[in-house]
Structure 1
């Protein structure tokens, strides 16, 4: 079965979507799916065993009323050209199902346009909410247009994938029952890890993999560490914190911001900040860490489940979550045997970290629960869905 995969970020880009695609598509191929990928042009080319086509990324400058008019005109032309090119790709490969993977949402918009033209089954995937994303603010005419675009994608979709139940509820609650019936949850996944034994060392290593944002910083972690060290100063020589990828420039919260927090909490001797690494190298860091740290933004009813959390689960290392109560991250960590703490639980987090370092706490992963998130099991769900959809009549 041939699936058109609209994923505008692909390996080797160090972005969550690219990393997910790098895990998912090889397993799809193993399980009988033939992906045909459409992605952004890049200096680093995505190399795979299946066809990959490259498209330009939309770009248009300008400001004010004239700038908005120019952008709208160029955007219309951009999608017109994309549709023409991708329709030809679909014809060449006799595509059975269209699958679009946000972000950016342009991939879902293109997928919906293709569904309308080609009358092929269309699956849209939402790693994060669109209109309901608390990281973003939509207002005025721009907000109205985005709401229309989201509604268009929902209408054209034959199946709508979310990675957790909260996101599904938050996004779909504003749509009619006929739309809600098309939505389902398939979680993020992890794949096989390179063999990497934990090195012998005298220090307990806490690692965080990935970028920070203004809404999601290591402040609670640092506050708790500072409290722990005030109560147990002898632990300062026994712990190290490694923030891998915290200097990533695309997030708007870089190394200087992190180092200012390090200085504020007097942690310069135990915190190390390093540049982003490849996905494969990040897996090695995960397996070698004594404990991994997952941090969510402090939003009530948070709809986010970072794909990195599921990679953490696959590593076998202990995990601590800093996340709102009842968040998808908290639910997953509880499911697989680990603990999470809200932003107000700095004292409890400090006590728990001290217990880990001293060997008084021994979290154990529930392997049968973790297996649910293995890529072979999530792929089996996608394969079943695709086989069902390919027989739809339009």
Structure 2
């Protein structure tokens, strides 16, 4: 079996979405018998931690480097020296090893380039673009900066020197690569998926279902609502369903969104274990897509994974034929356009016990995808 070293940010024990993307792929490869290490650059951002009962027994070695404003340079230097020392050690036992770099944190792909530069063919570089980077619709009309130029060069080097490139969706792959045939030929689409092992632990954890006195249908959104996620029409539509629906948002809501309905409850962000406990008691999980003026969102909201672990049906607010809409159709969930009248009409007809089937996205059914990483 092969040796993989992942470079990421705030990976387990943190519940950072980008870190969890990396960890899922790392664990899936580990479960297939590969030897996996993660080098994680951690920033003290107050992010919630993953409960230990969820990661106990995982055969992944995590080396963490804690960054602060005062020690960034010394930590990065120690990080590079430790990584290179690890690579040299592994190459004594292996003909080659895999280095996997991720778009979050920024400039991580430069580490992959340095590894390729120093170790050449004995390092096989896989770059992961599961977050917006150079061509990002989230950037809007932001001015060109030195940082933008550095990222453009970094992406070009990644596309040229990487043996494989990971994307989450086909739309995202085509959007970022555009007409770069070389990058397209190297690309692999690994969709957001769930770990069967974690699924069992989550469903069997001590956080049981709570008794519910309120007989209204419960809809929850896991995490804060901000940026291009437009929840205003959904929240306004809830005014017409105060006697039948209760909505809970486990996180803050963009202050620009105004709502007056009494069936909306907003909490502070919760630790991952508590959030999972709350979600066990919902009837539906709400997923709000990002909306842009000129294009459909090429990315997939990572919150779909929480629903997968809990087998909870999803109500998705998105555009027709977006990546999220396609996913919802495949899995038997509810897709609604971002229109108040239509949202209200669907909520009026919604049933307490929704159905869904996420089995297509279990790691055990994606083994062929993970084998495509071999090169």
TM-score by length of 2: 0.82
How far is the alpha carbon of 1:56 from its aligned partner?
4.5
Partner of 1:190, secondary structure, is: coil
Correspondent of 1:92 among 89, 94, 117: 89
Change (3 A) 1:96 1:164: same
Structure 1 counterpart SS, 2:104: coil
Partner residue, 1:168: 173
What is the CA distance between 1:163 and its match in structure 2?
Answer: 0.4
Q: Does 1:194 align with 2:199?
A: no
Change in 2 beyond 3 A, CA 1:218/1:376: same
Matching of residue 157 in structure 1 with residue 162 in structure 2: yes
How far apart are residue 165 of structure 1 and its match? 0.8
Alignment of 1:236-315 (within 5 A): 236-246=242-252, 253=254, 257=255, 261=257, 264-267=258-261, 269-299=262-292, 300-315=295-310
Contact 2:193 2:362 in 1 (8 A): yes
CA RMSD of superposed structures (Å) = 2.9
Residue 11 of structure 2 aligns to a residue in which SS? coil
Are 2:343 and 1:349 equivalent residues in the alignment?
yes
Question: Residue in 2 aligned with 1:65?
Answer: none
Corresponding residue for 2:318? 323
Kept in 1, the 8 Å contact 2:109–2:154? The answer is no
1:237-257 Cα deviation digits (max 9, x unpaired): 33211101337xxxxx4xxx2
- 1:109-258 paired onto structure 2 within 5 Å: 109-119=110-120, 120-136=123-139, 137=142, 139-175=144-180, 177-191=181-195, 192=199, 193-195=202-204, 196-197=208-209, 199-201=211-213, 202-226=215-239, 229=240, 235-246=241-252, 253=254, 257=255
Residues matched between the structures, number = 346
Unpaired stretches in structure 2, ≥5 consecutive residues = none
Aligned to 1:67: none
* Displacement of 1:182: 0.4
Equivalent of residue 53 in structure 1, options 57, 63, 67: 63
Name the counterpart of 1:35.
36
2:355 counterpart of 1:364? yes
Q: Secondary structure of 2:132's match?
A: coil
Whether the 8 Å contact between 1:188 and 1:373 is mirrored in structure 2 is yes
Distance 1:124 1:298, change over 3 A: same
Are the equivalent residues in 1 in contact too, given 2:238–2:263 (CA < 8 A)? no
Q: CA deviation at 1:311?
A: 2.8
Deviations 1:3-45 (A, max 9, x none): 0011122123232023334444334322102111101246779
Q: Which has the higher helix share?
A: 1
Normalised to the residue count of structure 1, the TM-score between the two structures is 0.78
Give 1:2-41 correspondences, 5 Å limit: 2-41=3-42
Q: CA deviation at 1:121?
A: 0.8
Separation in structure 2 between the aligned mates of residue 377 and residue 295 of structure 1, nearest angstrom: 26
1-side partners of 2:22 and 2:147: how far apart? 30
> Residue 166 and residue 59 in structure 1: after superposition, are their counterparts in 2 closer, same or farther (change >3 A)?
farther
State the match for 1:66 in structure 2: none
Offset of 1:347 from its aligned partner? Answer: 0.7
Moved more, 285-294 or 164-173: 285-294
Cα shift at 1:324: 2.5
Mapped partners of 2:117, 2:365: distance in 1: 31
| Bigger RCO (CA 8 Å, 6+ sep) | 1
Paired residue secondary structure (2:221): strand
Partners of 2:24 and 2:182 in 1: how far apart? 32
CA contact (8 A) 1:129 1:303 kept: no
Q: Do the aligned partners of 1:294 and 1:309 also contact (CA within 8 Å) in 2?
A: yes
Structure 1 residues 377 and 198, CA, compared in 2 at 3 Å: closer, same or farther?
farther
1:172 is displaced (CA, Å) by 0.6
Task: Give the superposition deviation at 1:380.
Answer: 5.0
